[in-house]
């Protein structure tokens, strides 16, 4: 599990940024397809992916003997 988390850490951060951007667009009304009530769900998903991404980055840079 740690190996996969380390492998996909940066991808999780990229997806977190994309979800946060969509949340911002939904909250400000720039996105025609998503209602503004969906923005908190985008932000919650972005936060969860950011946590996974940071955990993956930490795991990737952990010394091999730890």
pLDDT for the residue numbered 22: 93
pLDDT band at 16 (very low <50, low <70, confident <90, very high): very high
For 24-53, what is each residue's pLDDT tens digit? Answer: 999 988 877 778 789 999 999 999 999 999
> Global pTM?
0.86
Greatest distance between any 2 Cα atoms in the chain: 50
Chain centroid offset of residue 31 CA: 19
């Amino acid at each position: 599990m740690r190996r996969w988390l380390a492998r996909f850490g940066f991808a999780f951060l990229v997806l977190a940024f994309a979800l946060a951007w969509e949340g911002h667009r939904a909250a400000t009304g720039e996105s025609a397809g998503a209602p503004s009530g969906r923005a908190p769900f985008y932000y919650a998903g972005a936060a969860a992916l950011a946590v996974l991404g940071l955990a993956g980055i930490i795991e990737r840079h952990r010394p091999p003997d730890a």
